[in-house]
Amino acid sequence: MSQPRSLFEKVWDSHSVRELSNGQTQLLIGTHLIHEVTSPQAFGMLRDLNLPVKYPKRTFATVDHIVPTTNEVEPF
């Protein structure tokens, strides 16, 4: 009987492509979740380096860190 695996182990194993010569694991990430705080800098760097966004249909943006949580009745 095999040992039970954690959720982390199941996800890691299902996304592992191969082990690299330095012992690190190459992973396939099928969905890219980005938010407004650091994404503009990342996309600016890609633009400056003249690099395309790989798999743009797999990239999804969310709004984050925009609504104040203290001393505000409603967002501005």
Write out pLDDT tens, residues 22-68.
999 999 988 888 877 778 888 899 999 999 988 889 988 887 666 66
Give CA–CA dist 76/40, Å, rounded.
21
Which residue has 């505000």 as its token pair?
72
* Neighbouring C-alpha atoms within 13 Å toward the C-beta of 44: 6
Report the predicted TM-score, pTM, of the whole model to 2 decimal places: 0.48
Q: Apex CA 48: angle with CA 36 and CA 51, to 5°?
A: 85
Predicted pLDDT of residue 76: 55
